[in-house]
Chains A and B, each alone.
Chain A
Amino acid sequence: MTDKLTNAQIAWRAAQDIADEAYVNLGIGFPEMVAKFQPPGRQAIFHTENGILNFGEAPPAGEEDWDLINAGKKAVTLKPGAALFHHADSFAMVRGGHLDVAILGAYEVAENGDLANWSTGPKGIPAVGGAMDLVHGAKRVAVITDHVTKDGKPKLVKQCSLPLTGVGCVTRVYTSLAVIDIENQRFVLREKLPGMSLDDLQAVTGAELVVDGPIADLIVPEL
């Protein structure tokens, strides 16, 4: 029995909900993994904030073109049908609601859809990038995250304690234990690991898990 999903498995689960030909932005780091788990036959078109639509995988080492990078500053390639554009057009795509899905990481998500994912407090160097734009841009804003912090504290909470990235912006959360929708300012449980009881899941969740309809088993392949 699986205790919890790995990051790759969380990314795999999120990828199953991305439709063929959807326009998608993946946050830098862990969310970038979603791209490689698209179901066969589906091909989303990926957007990166620095000005590319329809970029593909990294080139082989030594063949990088450093004018062709993604938002995480990693070298990418162009797929047939790719487009290049400047930053104002790129964020018009974001803010103008033209992307179908944005998938981001999280420090905390609140039951009202508030997201905290850019700052862990006043110490260190603050950096926000495009996160605050993305959460207000896509038609669907999803989060992928471990269900709890490294110290075992809930990341799904009643109210975020860390600085917000956006208010009321998240619509679905894929965690290492469950898939949860945010509807009417509540966490509505959609899927959970088959070996885990609702009580055990509730115990590691910082706000009420509402049951409103069937709860499916969260089943993910070994990756």
Chain B
Amino acid sequence: MDKSVADPASAVEGVADGMTVMVGGFGGSGAPIELLHALIDRFRATGSPGNLTIINNNAGNGRIGIAAMIDVGMVAKMICSFPRSADPRAFTEKYLAGEIELELVPQGTLAERIRAGGAGIPAFYTPTSYGTDLAKGKPTGEFDGRMYVQERWLKADVAIIKAELADRQGNLTYRKAGRNFSPLMAAAAGLTIVQATQIVEPGEIDPEQVITPGLFVDRIVEVADAQQEEALMRAGVAYS
């Protein structure tokens, strides 16, 4: 078994118009910049994929990664908890112009909805958001004397994530806090695409250190010196 592909462009093949795409990362930590930029390259060349729904904690920063996708007009809807950043112009401009839809989800609820999607659990109850505007229209229930809000699972056509090590069977480790949503997203998508800092042979990752088992992963591509959002921001780089 070998899930590796040659380059980021091949890795994101099949990501199509109208799809729902989970993107790993919290701010720039763990953000799969090269895979996102490969999608932008294809959009520029062919006009596709557009009309995407993107699921991430944030809505991009500056003019790179998700922000650049929003800026060039690939994104119809964001599902996120915190669409603000050091430089949120890309999202803010589209949102205020009514050109992008926002589903705002509390951060822990977002994580758990994705986890539930991957685990085959269609709905769950959480105390988070009970009695607030974000619970409007949702069923509630009382358990042991406390009120809870019913939340539904979240699944996606594609997950695009960044790992540290990947073996050819797709077993993954992550780097520091770059892990964040990625193990949850890997399980919740029909097609999971990974950029890894290094691809190694099966057996080279100690099985006890595997964070995401290869079963959840479909394609891996090695990006050895991956770009980092914060470093690009400071260097004034824009991809849109």
The bracket for how many chain B residues form the interface is: 35 or more
Tell whether A164 is near chain B: CB-to-CB under 8 Å.
yes
Asked if A150 is an interface residue, CB under 8 A from chain B, the answer is: no
Q: Tell me which of A49, A67, A90 contacts B30 (CB under 8 A).
A: A67
CA–CA, A165 and B178, complex, Å: 27
* Chain B positions within 8 Å of A125 at CB level: 83-84, 88, 91-92, 95-96
What is the bound-complex CA distance between A114 and B143, given in angstroms? 20
A73, CB-defined interface residue at 8 Å: yes
A137 CB contacts on chain B under 8 angstroms: 108
Is A206 part of the contact surface with B, judged by Cβ < 8 Å?
no
Q: Does B107 contact A (CB under 8 A)?
A: yes
> Which residues of the other chain, A, contact B130 by a CB distance below 8 angstroms?
136, 166-167
In the assembled complex, the Cα of A96 lies from the Cα of B127 at a distance in Å of 10
Q: Which of A118-173 contact B (CB under 8 A)?
A: 119, 125-133, 136-137, 163-167
Given contacts A86-B181, A90-B108, A95-B126, 15 further A-B contacts (CB under 8 A): A50-B177, A51-B177, A67-B30, A67-B176, A68-B29, A68-B176, A86-B183, A88-B112, A95-B108, A126-B83, A127-B81, A128-B81, A166-B132, A167-B131, A167-B132
- Chain A CB within 8 A of B68 CB: no
Q: Which residue from B29, B95, B128 sits with its C-beta under 8 Å from A67?
A: B29
Q: Which residues of A contact B10 (CB under 8 A)?
A: none
**Interface assignment of A35: CB less than 8 Å from any CB of chain B:** no
Q: How far does the Cβ of A159 sit from chain B's closest Cβ, in whole Å?
A: 13
**What chain A residues lie within 8 Å of B132 (beta carbons)?**
132, 163-167
B180 and A129 contact, CB distance less than 8 A: no
Task: Give Cα distance in the complex from A48 to B180, angstroms.
Answer: 11
Residues of A within 8 A of B126 (CB): 95
Residue of B nearest to A48 (CB): B177
Interface residues of A in 161-203 (CB under 8 A from B): 163-167
When distances are taken between beta carbons in the complex, the residues of chain B under 8 Å from A164 are 131-133
Min Cβ gap A131→B in Å is 8
B228 touches A132 (CB 8 A): no
A87-B180, A128-B134, A133-B107 as given contacts; A95 in contact with B95, CB under 8 Å: no
Q: For the complex, give the distance between the alpha carbons of A64 and B230 in Å.
A: 10
Q: Which of B29, B57, B115, B134 contacts A132 (CB 8 A)?
A: B134
3 closest A-B pairs (Cβ-Cβ)? Answer: A91-B108, A133-B108, A87-B111
**Interface residue A18 (Cβ < 8 Å from any Cβ of B):** no
Q: Are B30 and A127 in contact (CB under 8 A)?
A: no
Q: Looking at chain A, what size class is its interface with the partner chain? A: 35 or more
Known A-B contacts A67-B178, A87-B184, A88-B184; A129 and B30 likewise in contact (beta carbons under 8 Å): no
Interface members, chain A 27-61 (any B CB < 8 Å): 48-52
A129 near B82 with CB under 8 A, answer yes
Cβ < 8 Å to A, chain B residues 76-118: 81-86, 88, 91-92, 95-96, 102, 104-112, 114-115
* Residue B222 is within 8 A (CB to CB) of chain A in the complex: no
Chain A residue with minimal CB distance to B132?
Answer: A164
Q: Check if B84 sits within 8 Å of A51, measured CB to CB.
A: no
A residues within 8 A CB of B71?
none
Interface string of B167-184 (1 = CB under 8 A from A): 000000011111111111
Which partner residue on chain B sits nearest A72 by CB separation?
A: B27
